[in-house]
Amino acid sequence: MISKFFIDRPRFAFVISIVITLAGIVALFTLPVTQYPDITPGQVSISATYPGADAKTVQETVIQPIEAQVNGVKRMIYMSSTATDTGAATITVTFDIGTDGDSNTVNTQNRVNWASAQLPEEVRRQSVIVKEKSPSMLLVIAVYSPDGKYDDLFLSNYASIYLKDELARIPGVGEVQMLGEHKYSMRIWLDPAKMASMNMTVDEVTGALNQQNVQVSAGALGEAPTGGHGIFRYALQTQGRMAEVSQFENIVVRSTPDGAQVKMKDIARVELGAENYASSGSYNGRPAALMAIYQLNEANGIQIRQACAERLEELKAYFPEGVDYGIPFDTTAFITASIDEVVMTLVIAVFLVIAITYLFLQDWRSTIVPTLAIPVSLIGTFAVLLAIGYTINLITLFGLILAIGIVVDDAIVVIENVSRLMDEEHLDPKQAAVKSMEEVTGPVVATTAVLLAMFIPICFLPGITGEMYRQFGITIAVSVLISSINALTLSPALCSILLKPVDKNRKKFFLFRWFNDGFEKVTDGYVHLVKVIVRRALFALVLFGAIVFGCYWFYMNLPTGFIPNEDQGKLFVNIQLPDAASLDRTQAFTDRLVEEARKVDGVVDVIGVSGYSILTSAQASNNAMILVSLKPWKERKSPELSQDAIQRKLMAIFGRDPGAIVQVFGMPTIQGIGTTGGFSFVVEDTSGTYPERLEAAVNELCEAARKHPAIGSAYSTFRAQVPQVFLNIDREKALKLGVSISSINTALQGLTGYTYVNDFNKFGKVYKVEIQAAADARRSVPDVRNIFVRNDKGDMVPLGTLVEVEQKLSPQYLNRYNMYSSATINGSNAPGYSSGQAMAAMEELARQLLPDGMKFDWTDMSYQEKAANKPVELGGGLSLNMTMIIFSLALLFMYLFLVAQYESWMIPIAVLLSVPIAFFGSLLFLWVMHVENNIYTQVGFVLLFGLACKTAILIVEFAKVSHEQGKSIFDAAVEAAKLRFRAVLMTAISFILGVLPLVIATGAGAASRISLGTAVFGGMIVAAIGGTLLVPMFYAVVQHLIEFGRKKPEKE
């Protein structure tokens, strides 16, 4: 027997435990800390620009050719794209979880190269960018001027030149994106009237820029070969690219034979302005440069945040006077607060388990034995987590919390049995330890094997659910395995050294006497009930049948979800003004909402970005977004200051203006999967020809969804009928007048649009030179008519004579999902309903309302939730939920391990019949507490299966041994129940109190802790009461069946 070796050599056992603990301590300071495991799907972004093109043109000439080639790239799960009327094209390819980002990028780039020949020349010139997308926005850093000394143009470029690259080099940072960026550009604001008076066209302006603002390679004097006469070599330099406004002003656009010159400043105003004025940012009402920090999937967000703060403090020493920075949006605050809350829960759980252990054992020497199992098992687990590449995250920490009540079980079984033998058989500690281990080694090994077997199937589950199950299961399995090693090595060694014979004459503390008297009465009552139940097994089996039916009913009717929504201390606001609203109007409206948000109690920082939609990730003049950061959770303990309450307040305030659609929503439950909390429902038009038809269907569906009781909100930003101006060129007339169509297009692009001509260098960077008409020359339709073009005779022809102006309704942007024209509906479940119920309601409404030629799909977090709950087809019209398959496999593996342990096909059934009792208790508590069935509760279910079997094994093992020693089935069952009642109840109460802090959790991450805690708390309470009563009966029934089966062949 292995335990006797360590009883004889206790120092050997001590060394093993010390080594395990030291390895864990080293790992603890090495392991990265994250909110979740690496469960974010990989993404690759493809972006291109077609200057001056509308959304339809961009979709047809840029997006569709690329999508046709990229579709089906290795391990892609879905693809989405957006084309805007600013000429921007963005395609996002999402890959399966666990794929390599570099491989995804290379595979996608190869596919894009195949499509490059089909793209317009201007798109190829601007280049198509393919890069790994970092979907998880970690921080937003605001660079602002407290005294208003600097404007947003200076701040944006200061941040871009001196800060952005520094932050991008920090390990783990995937991208630094400037929100509302005003990147420097040499803006040449042309005066069309002056140009017309001088008979000048846009082509002349661009030609002058290309000739005079050019980088020249002038060569060198004395460059070999020199015929052997060269002594020196001198590099030649000449004026190349210009850098100053004055230089561009003095560019000669035209020279006449008489020596007169027309310079750029004669027909245009030149300034160092912004490349793009389509959006702008603010921080608490002040103009600001906003830098969004995105982390790589495998990076440690907390370390990145710390590194960014340290680097910014170093760079702050070089800031100009009147410039400062802040970090108003920090997602790591929630991660840190959640981890802190979980660690505090861990500490409380350890204290409660030790307290209940001491209450039962009533001796500090005895309490030390199971108490030491906690740090050795928990700390030692970190060493294994480091070895297999895991992190310290909410899932692994939840596993450790639940393991607290489990890791003491084996040690409690050992110490309780040693104490009993010393008390009843008057053995000395060493003799009692040896004999005790002969009795309990089998149950300890069996319970450990069952728990390990339970987690084997979940290691093969795919997707987000599989990764979370896997990390949770391995964490518990490792800690339980270490605790079992302790129970077979350290615990018996400690018992032989620490325990002393009980002094019968010593009077115990009065609380202990009261507890013992009460417990004896409870034990007597328990034994009496067990005798009744064993004798009336048929009635008990009927009751058990009712419990099984209750499990089925509760499981089928319990609301389902995926990952519970948390108070993350952050809110997003999406603003959509009436179609065609100008950026100035949107900016003024956004500034007003920012000021109103800052006045709400509980709000600490507000960021505004006008001209950008967070839902579509596209620029639009009538869109804006606001990021609201709330005060720390410790300062928002009252219900009125919760995230949901503040969200309702903001909705009430922002909803006062009927001229705008304002939506307030929380962050996604897992950073990097989607942009918002709630569901993302995609309506796809398989014909793809009528955006107006798609808009009508989406609006009808949204209106019906808002009336459904399970859906709290449903809205879409898609608009197919945005007012636009269509210029119908009379091509025949233009050709008769000698005006080429290309000259008309060039004039329009260079004046009402903008033309990127070439580049200039400044501040160590390369910036664009752009031409465009001055603002007062492109405000209204008459300004278009006053544009002049030159015909083949050299005469200037007004554009108004060549075009007819029509008012037209067209989409501002176009979306596609998996190569179909699409529109996304964002929404959330109503209070009292789960996300699963809301999603089911959306599907039901879509089937009823969507016309022929349209279908629906899910994306982002909703896609993952549907994938996790997708039924597996078994054939013959049968299907089974993947979770139920995992549950079934877990039970099968436990059964097989027990068969191997007991060398019996029947005895394990008595153990497994305890599972429905625990399952029923868990479902009952979830129903009463109004907690949905989500991934955390399902993880709790799997753990409960093992715990229920673990408890049952302690009784069945002893009953089996007693019966084999000659006692009747009835006596063996009753004696085992009585003998193991104290140990069973002690371990059950230890576990129940260990998870109690999860049930009553508050603060950051409370929803997840409550879901997990409620499931295991309720299940263990019912298992501790009902299981201990029914397991003896299960053994008796099964043993009678075994003996009946043996007698029948004998009679024959």
* pLDDT tens readout for residues 266-324: 999 999 999 988 889 999 989 999 999 988 766 778 889 999 999 999 999 999 999 99
Average pLDDT over residues 120-148: 87
Which CA distances in Å does 457 have to 129, 385, 705?
42, 19, 39
User: What pLDDT is stored for residue 404 in this prediction?
Assistant: 79
* Token couple for 540: 């008990």
* Token couple for 926: 């979830």
Which CA distances in Å does 501 have to 133, 420, 424, 491, 767?
67, 11, 11, 17, 87
Same domain, 893 and 923: yes
User: What pLDDT is stored for residue 603 in this prediction?
Assistant: 93
Residue 778 located in a structural domain:
yes
Same domain, 453 and 540: yes
User: Per-residue confidence at 7, pLDDT binned at 50, 70, 90?
Assistant: confident
Q: Is the pLDDT of residue 423 over 90?
A: no
Q: Is the pLDDT of residue 392 over 70?
A: yes
User: What pLDDT is stored for residue 279 in this prediction?
Assistant: 87
Q: How far apart are CA 894 and CA 952, in angstroms?
A: 13
* DSSP state letters, 700-732: HHHHHHHHSTTEEEEE----S-EEEEEEEE-HH
Residue 100: CB atoms within 10 Å: 13
Q: Is the pLDDT of residue 19 over 90?
A: yes
* Backbone torsions φ then ψ of 85, nearest 5 degrees: -80, 5
* Token couple for 201: 């066209």
Average pLDDT over residues 341-367: 81
* Token couple for 567: 């108070």
Q: Most confidently modeled of 6-15, 544-553, 727-736?
A: 544-553
Asked which of 772, 789, 810 is the last residue of a domain, the reply is 810
- For the segment 832-876, what is each residue's pLDDT rounded down to a tens digit? 888 888 999 999 999 999 998 899 999 988 888 888 777 666 555
- Which CATH number fits the domain that encloses residue 638? 3.30.70.1430
Domain tally, the chain: 5
- Which CATH number fits the domain that encloses residue 731? 3.30.2090.10
805 close to 725: Cβ distance less than 8 angstroms? yes
- Residue 631: is it exposed, middle or buried by C-beta count within 10 angstroms (0-12/13-18/19+)? middle
Model-level pTM greater than 0.85?
no
Same domain, 872 and 890: no
Q: How far apart are CA 967 and CA 523, in angstroms?
A: 21
912 close to 894: Cβ distance less than 8 angstroms? yes
Asked which of 757, 791, 810 is the last residue of a domain, the reply is 810
**3-class DSSP state of 226:** coil
Question: Of 957, 993, 987, nearest to 415 (Cα)?
Answer: 987
585 close to 575: Cβ distance less than 8 angstroms? no
Residue 363: CB atoms within 10 Å: 17
Q: How far apart are CA 156 and CA 184, in angstroms?
A: 9
DSSP code for 830: P
Same domain, 389 and 460: yes
Q: At what angle do helices 463-488 and 429-455 cross, to 10 degrees?
A: 170
Q: Is the pLDDT of residue 1048 over 80?
A: no
**Vertex 975: Cα angle to 896 and 357 (nearest 5):** 80
User: Per-residue confidence at 221, pLDDT binned at 50, 70, 90?
Assistant: confident
Question: Of 856, 838, 847, 558, nearest to 708 (Cα)?
Answer: 838
* Token couple for 14: 């001590």
Q: How far apart are CA 862 and CA 744, in angstroms?
A: 48
Question: Of 337, 203, 248, nearest to 745 (Cα)?
Answer: 203
629 close to 603: Cβ distance less than 8 angstroms? yes
Report how far Cα 343 is from the mean position of its chain's Cα atoms: 21
Q: How far apart are CA 241 and CA 282, in angstroms?
A: 34
Structural domain span for residue 660: 582-666
Q: Most confidently modeled of 186-190, 648-652, 826-830?
A: 186-190
Residue 175: CB atoms within 10 Å: 17
Q: Is the pLDDT of residue 506 over 70?
A: no
Same domain, 902 and 932: yes
Residues 838, 839, 841, 842: is their CA dihedral positive or negative?
A: positive
**3-class DSSP state of 290:** strand
Residue 406 located in a structural domain:
yes
Cα dihedral 626, 627, 632, 638, rounded to 10, equals 40
Report how far Cα 379 is from the mean position of its chain's Cα atoms: 27
User: What pLDDT is stored for residue 503 in this prediction?
Assistant: 63
**Percent of the chain topping pLDDT 90:** 37
Q: How far apart are CA 861 and CA 670, in angstroms?
A: 8
Average pLDDT, the chain: 87
Average pLDDT over residues 1018-1045: 89
244 versus 618: the higher-pLDDT residue is 244
At 354, which helix (H) or strand (E)?
helix 332-361
78 close to 43: Cβ distance less than 8 angstroms? no
- For the segment 48-85, what is each residue's pLDDT rounded down to a tens digit? 988 778 888 999 999 999 999 999 999 999 999 999 88
Per DSSP, what are the bridge partners of residue 607? 283, 627
Same domain, 846 and 790: no
User: What pLDDT is stored for residue 544 in this prediction?
Assistant: 92
Residue 152 located in a structural domain:
no
Residue 210 located in a structural domain:
yes
User: Per-residue confidence at 965, pLDDT binned at 50, 70, 90?
Assistant: confident
Same domain, 863 and 716: yes
Residue with tokens 């802190």: 340
Residue 153 located in a structural domain:
no
Residue 288 located in a structural domain:
no
Residue 564 located in a structural domain:
no
794 versus 80: the higher-pLDDT residue is 80
Question: Of 468, 634, 662, 661, nearest to 567 (Cα)?
Answer: 634
Asked which of 772, 790, 810 is the last residue of a domain, the reply is 810
Q: How far apart are CA 668 and CA 679, in angstroms?
A: 9
Same domain, 122 and 256: no
Same domain, 841 and 862: yes
- Which CATH number fits the domain that encloses residue 25? 1.20.1640.10
At 220, which helix (H) or strand (E)?
strand 220-221
User: Per-residue confidence at 45, pLDDT binned at 50, 70, 90?
Assistant: very high
Q: How far apart are CA 846 and CA 858, in angstroms?
A: 12
Same domain, 794 and 755: yes
Same domain, 448 and 477: yes
Residue 761: CB atoms within 10 Å: 13
Same domain, 883 and 972: yes
Question: Of 855, 431, 317, 816, nearest to 616 (Cα)?
Answer: 816
User: What pLDDT is stored for residue 1050 in this prediction?
Assistant: 55
Q: Is the pLDDT of residue 742 over 80?
A: yes
Residue 230 located in a structural domain:
no
DSSP code for 457: G
Which CA distances in Å does 835 have to 828, 845, 857, 926, 932?
7, 15, 16, 16, 9
DSSP code for 458: G
Which CA distances in Å does 890 have to 453, 659, 868, 904, 942?
7, 56, 17, 19, 8
Q: How far apart are CA 139 and CA 330, in angstroms?
A: 5
**Percent of the chain topping pLDDT 70:** 97
| β-bridge pairing 88-95 and 280-283 | unpaired
CA atoms within 13 A on the CB side of 658: 0
Q: How far apart are CA 831 and CA 842, in angstroms?
A: 16
* Token couple for 33: 């800390």
At 570, which helix (H) or strand (E)?
strand 570-576
User: What pLDDT is stored for residue 345 in this prediction?
Assistant: 80
Q: Is the pLDDT of residue 93 over 90?
A: yes
Average pLDDT over residues 768-783: 90
Q: Is the pLDDT of residue 1052 over 60?
A: no
769 close to 213: Cβ distance less than 8 angstroms? yes
